[in-house]
Chain A
Amino acid sequence: MANSPVLTIDNLQVAIEDKQILQGVNLTVRGGEVHAIMGPNGTGKSTLASALMGHPKYSVIGGSASLDGEDLLAMSVDERARQGLFLAMQYPSEVSGVSNANFMRMALNSRLGEGNEIPVLKFHRELQKQMKTLSMDASFSERYLNEGFSGGEKKRNEILQMTILKPRIAILDEIDSGLDIDALRIVADGVNSLRSPDFGVLVITHYQRLLDYITPDHVHVMMQGRIVRSGGQELAKELEARGYDWIKEELGIIDDETVSAGM
């Protein structure tokens, strides 16, 4: 898999139980690119992230999604991950009794495949190095997975997993929520350290702030389950200055639940 990755999302429609959330999303993310999806709360941003990863609560009712030409939707969650997809979650689970280090080593070895497992010492050296970069205390490696972690610690732990697993395409779902400005910078540095032609990122956020640190190549606005506008970095700046209402007006969207959720 030396060539540059490509995530292709074509007319994706997703429902939770019987309620359709995504109304047909089209997006292509290539290696080397950073895409940002912005938009008010409740418009389907996190649904897109979870559905791509294969969360069981979301059912795909139309469209397609592929990674490097392989049909993602036909794969189980773990197969998607091994194919190179990564989701940094908004609310990572706590798993009692499973140490952070063991979990990550298992995950990495699953990704590397049988026969290519990383030697234990090498793994721990790499883990300690990455933890240091993310200003995480060494004790985190032996603590139970996310158990008792603060919100900010959980987010750092997501980025730590990403830097260890080195995915081809990463989706960061509101990785900035609950982070103070120093932590935000550290997390952004972690993401930026992976930037290369072999790595594409989809950043989901509703604050422009994160994009000061992770500069996007493309910015998309999502409303009512669709991408309604795409542009460059300047679109994010404009949203910061003007909020979302002007887009709604232009598109004729009258939607109470999203009106108040501006900047």
Chain B
Amino acid sequence: MNELREQTPLTQDVKAIYGEKASLESRIAGSEGYATLPEPNFGKGGWNKRNVTAFQTSPLSTVGQWQSIVHAYQPDGFQQPTIVLADGHVVMTQGLDALHDQGVIAMPLSQAEAEHASLVKEAMHSVIAQNENRYVALNSALWRDGLFLYLPKGIIVEKPIVVLSVTTQGGAGTFVRHLLIAKEQAQATVLTVDLAASDLAEELHVNVSEALLSDYAHVTFGVLHDFPKNATNHLMYRAKLARGAKMDWVIGELSEGYTVSEFASLLDGEGSSSTSHAVALGSGRANLNFTARMVHNARFSESDTMARGVMKDRAEAVFTGNTHILRGASGSNGLQSERLLMLSPKSKADAVPMLLIDENDVKCGHAASVGQINEEQLFYLMSRGISEQEAKRMIVWGFIDPVLTRLPVTTIKEAVEAAIERKMG
């Protein structure tokens, strides 16, 4: 069907690399989307000034030193079912067999496309359109790997499933893709961690993750992102919820690079609900454009969005909360708050709370604040003998604690705390 169209070099490469794969057709469509779609408008902030072509069509043939980077996050070894990806390759899987015995499919997406082609084909792009933007299209052309999780009806997975994606060498591009399907009443917790070597060369990182929740399914999705300054990141996570389903996002953003990220729940089923708790630490010259989006498209749907940002050095950020209640979604309730703590006079941040309400019978609330360390709080703590430095530390940690306590895996929570501690200086 494409014979008459001129083939782009990317399309030719994709054909050469993925000619044997079930995903070929979809990858070709992605490469064409990349060629034809305009550059996305990611608001002010200079996405177009970044090196967004810092990628190669094929993954690197050799894998770099990933162990030490992972070790910082899993010092006690792997207690959970785990997949480790390094430079686009699966380098380790563990504890997945026990899940298979439950009827759960938990495997690298590359394996699933071979073994469960129809499931993958049906679900992929069903939550995030392939051509939503140029880089989403690029990811669908070049995705290296990710998690494929299929939870049959009524199955409850107790242990969190951890996916660590490590980029050790820059320039090849990091294209992660996760796909989750939770059937009726199924429950699971997933934690994905994207890490990179701190001296990474210029790198484009695009992560596209979709989750499909059937009636009364409940998924907790933790996302941790820590890429260094040379990385340009586009993260797009989205869930679609049927009746009574529940999606809980827990997000830690520690990147020092340039990041545009969006986490969204499409509340399509009556009585579905979603929470989103995000903490971001902006340090160095980090530039973050973060959006948490809740789309209420059914009656009695509920959402609660909370974002806390701590900005230091010359970091810049825009935190947008977008709660949209569509016509017909009566009885819905949407809450959001964005609070930003500025630790440096050279850092900049905006909180943009958006409530779009097309229905009358709904409840909505929002709170937004941008401020420095509260002088009264500081005085209070110091008046008990605590030093200024320690008091400030306590206030900052207290500020992000409501989000940190929700991170699902203890060792990773501790690793995040250590990373924040390190970046806080």
Contacts and interface: CB of A to CB of B under 8 A. Distances in A.
Pair from one complex: yes
Interface string B369-399: 0000011110111111111101100110111
A57 B375 CA distance: 9
B379 A76 contact: no
> Which of A89, A95, A111 has the largest number of chain B CB atoms within 10 A?
A95
Pick from B375, B379, B394, B397 the residue with the most CB of A within 10 Å. B379
Contacts of B398: 95-98, 144-145
B402 interface: yes
B390 A98 contact: no
B385 A107 contact: yes
A200 to B, nearest CB: 17
B250 to A, nearest CB: 16
A98 B395 contact: yes
A73 to B, nearest CB: 15
A82 B380 contact: no
Given A56-B379, A106-B394, A110-B390, A96 B399 contact: yes
A78 B382 contact: yes
Contacts of B394: 95, 98, 103, 106
Contact of B385 (A89, A94, A97, A111): A111
B386 A78 contact: yes
A78 B385 contact: yes
A93 B385 contact: no
A254 to B, nearest CB: 35
A59 to B, nearest CB: 14
Contact of B377 (A54, A82, A93, A106): A93
B383 A82 contact: no
A165 interface: yes
Interface in B385-425: 385-388, 390-391, 394-395, 397-402
A145 B375 CA distance: 16
B380 A78 contact: no
Given A81-B385, A103-B394, A96 B375 contact: no
A53 interface: yes
B390 A56 contact: no
A110 B386 contact: yes
Nearest to A107: B384
Interface string A85-104: 01101001111111000011
Contacts of A86: 383
A205 interface: no
A93 B397 contact: no
A95 B377 contact: yes
Contacts of A145: 398
Contacts, number: 83
At the interface, is chain B mostly helix, strand, loop or mixed?
Answer: helix
Contacts of B390: 106, 110
Interface in A144-175: 144-145, 161, 165
A55 B378 CA distance: 10
A103 B385 contact: no
B399 A103 contact: no
B401 A97 contact: yes
Nearest to B374: A93
Contacts of B386: 78, 81, 106-107, 110
Given A55-B379, A56-B375, A110 B395 contact: no
A144 B398 CA distance: 9
Given A96-B399, A106-B390, A87 B377 contact: no
Given A89-B380, A96-B398, A110 B374 contact: no
Contact of B387 (A78, A98, A103): A78
Contacts of A106: 386, 390, 394
For B380, B385, B400, the residue with the greatest tally of chain A CB atoms inside 10 Å of its CB is B385
B314 to A, nearest CB: 26
A77 interface: yes
A80 B385 CA distance: 7
A59 B387 CA distance: 20
Contacts of A111: 384-385
B369 to A, nearest CB: 12
B382 A96 contact: no
B127 to A, nearest CB: 33
Nearest to A94: B377
Contacts of A89: 380, 383
Nearest to B375: A56
Given A103-B394, A110-B384, A77 B401 contact: no
A55 B390 CA distance: 18
A211 to B, nearest CB: 24
Contacts of A78: 382-383, 385-388, 391
Interface string B346-383: 00000000000000000000000000001111011111
Nearest to B376: A93
Nearest to A104: B384
Residue from the set B377, B387, B398 with the largest chain A CB neighbour count within 10 Å: B398
25 contacts: A54-B379, A54-B383, A56-B379, A57-B375, A77-B383, A78-B387, A78-B391, A81-B385, A86-B383, A93-B376, A94-B377, A96-B399, A97-B397, A97-B398, A97-B402, A98-B395, A103-B384, A106-B390, A107-B381, A110-B384, A110-B385, A110-B386, A111-B385, A144-B398, A165-B385
Q: Nearest 3 A-B pairs (CB), nearest first?
A: A97-B398, A97-B401, A107-B384
Interface of B: 374-377, 379-388, 390-391, 394-395, 397-402
Given A95-B381, A106-B386, A107-B386, 7 more contacts: A55-B379, A78-B385, A78-B386, A92-B380, A93-B374, A96-B402, A107-B384
Interface of A: 53-57, 76-78, 80-82, 86-87, 89, 92-98, 103-104, 106-107, 110-111, 144-145, 161, 165
